[in-house]
Structure formats: structure tokens, C-alpha cells
Amino acid sequence: MADLRIFSYLPNPRIWKSTIAGRLCGVDVELIGAKPGELSEWLWDFDARPLTDEDRAAPENTPQQPRTGFNTALYKTPAFLKAHPFGTVPAAFSPDGETGIFESNSIMRTVARLGADRYPLYGSDAYSAARIDSFLDVSLVFARDSQIYLLSFRNGQVTPEIHENAERAFMAYMAGMERALSPDRAHLVGDGITLADICFAAELTLFSREMAQSTALASIGKRPIMDAETATQYPRAMAHYEKLCAHEAFAPDIAPYREKLNADIEADCAQMKAAGA
């Protein structure tokens, strides 16, 4: 049995925080889920699965109101809601299903604690752990604007204001990372990879999804925030990101996602050219 089970929509760069951490510190992380558009047809539970007619008819599985990112009612078991009182995904569980852990950074911290004897992902003392937490907290601020921005593409509701808010958040986030990675510091905290680096790589990969939205952004007079100039503006941060992406613990998750993203960017560019013609 896995050390930790996570139920989520897939792929989800934010749960890579836990799978990457698991590879580094020898913790077995099990993923269960489906594409975002399919997850509303699942029963949300420790033993999550596609809905059956019996699941829908069961009186205890009362349909819940749609959550952010979902347009239809969601079926969640009482046990799921007991373990996850906010009713969101990603939803992690202890092996017995009794203890629920929610929010991607907290799930990642759980993996680090489970494997602390094998790899010090959470720092070497109270001070380094607190500094790691500082980076994770800052990432939450960035993630809020990032999520609003990325979801607006799915709903066809991106606006100049949403874009500008995301751009400010991105610039503040990257400027801080750039300063943290001084010429004599190869990682955000300490001398090796920590949760701070993992979180940074996952959040930036998720944000890069906007690079395939040039057509939608052009319709409101905007361009993608991440572009060829990003590496020039934030050279240390982007070099660190690329190094992390190539690491053996990161690449199994990030490489296929970036390959698919590159194909989507090419398709989006072709669409823009066709529209311009």
C-alpha cells in the first residue's frame, strides 16, 4: 500500500510537488483521478472511482454544488467530506483513508516529513524550515492570481484586468526568486533541493500554460506574460528552473507536460496566423 494516496484532476502540476518530493525521499505516492472535464463523473472518496448508477442513487452521496473549475454537481461521500471538510482537490489521504490532507503545499510537506530520514527536503533546522515555509507562503499568493488567470481562459472570460493582475503577481514572484538565487547560491534554501525549489518549479510550470493562449490574449490586446524575454529579465531564476526541470526527480512529471505544451503553443500560433491571413 502506498504511503500517501492523492485524488485529483490529472495532469495537475501542483500535485507534482508531492510526486517529485516522493522520488527524492523514497516515499510511495499513489495518484488517482482523471482529466478535469471527467472528474465530475467520479465519486469523490478515498476509493475514488467513476460514478455508477448505484452511487448516484445512494442517499448518502448527496450532490454537492460545483466548485471552482467545475460546472456540474459533484458527488462526494460522507467519508470524503469528513476527511476533507472544504471538499476540494487535490485531496490526499493516509493509507487507512482516515486522515485527509488538503492544499498542495501541505500535501508536499507530508511527503517530506514521511521521508525526512532519507532526504532533508524540509531543511536542516528550525530556521531553514521556516525559510522554506516563507517561500511556500509567497508561492500561495502567486498561485491565487495564477489560478484566476488560467481559469479565465477555460471559461473564455480573460480580461485586461485579470491579465494585468497576473502580470504583477508574476513579476513580483520572479523578482524575489531572482534575488534569492544570488551568484553564490544555487538553490533557494541551503545547499540542495528543498520543498522551496520543488514548489517553484511546479508553480512556474503551471503558469507557463498561458503561453498557449496567444490567440485569446490577442483578442483583448495582450500577449503571454512568459515569453522569450523572461530568461533575460530573470536569468538566475529561469536557469534554476531549467536545471530543476532536467533533474531526474522532476523530469518524469514535467518533461511530458512541457512537450504537450510546446505542441499546443505551435497550434495556437498557427491559429493566430490563419486568423491574421
Report pLDDT for 69.
64
Is residue 119 included in any domain, yes or no?
Answer: no
pLDDT at 277: 47
pTM for the model stands at 0.94
Query: Could you tell me which of 8, 16, 6, 15 has the C-alpha nearest to residue 33?
Result: 8
Choosing from 67, 88, 114, the residue where a domain stops is: 114
93 lies in the same domain as 212: no
We report the CATH number of the domain holding residue 149 as 1.20.1050.10
Tell me, yes or no, whether 265 and 145 share the same domain: yes
107 and 158 co-located in one domain: no
> Do 254 and 158 fall into the same domain?
yes
67: cell is 466548485
Q: 271 and 143 in one domain?
A: yes
Cβ-in-10-Å burial (0-12, 13-18, 19+) of 52 comes to exposed
Please tell me whether residues 133 and 267 are part of one structural domain. yes
Q: Kindly state the average pLDDT of the residues 36-57.
A: 94
Same domain, 91 and 146: no
Range of the domain at 137: 126-276
- Total structural domains in the chain? 2
Tens of pLDDT, residue by residue over 182-225, are 888 889 999 999 999 999 999 999 999 999 999 999 999 999 99
* Residue 167 and residue 264 in one domain: yes
Does 218 fall in a domain? yes
Whether residue 75 lies inside any domain: the answer is: yes
Q: What average pLDDT score do residues 63-74 get? A: 76
Radius of gyration of the chain (CA): 20
- If asked whether residues 258 and 185 sit together in one domain, one would say yes
Query: 134 and 247: one domain?
Result: yes
Give yes or no: residues 102 and 158 share one domain. Answer: no
CB of 152 closer than 8 Å to CB of 60: no
> Are residues 141 and 72 part of one domain?
no
Local structure of 79: helix, strand or coil: helix
The CA-CA-CA angle for residues 275, 204, 122, to 5°, reads 170
> Percent of the chain at pLDDT above 90?
87
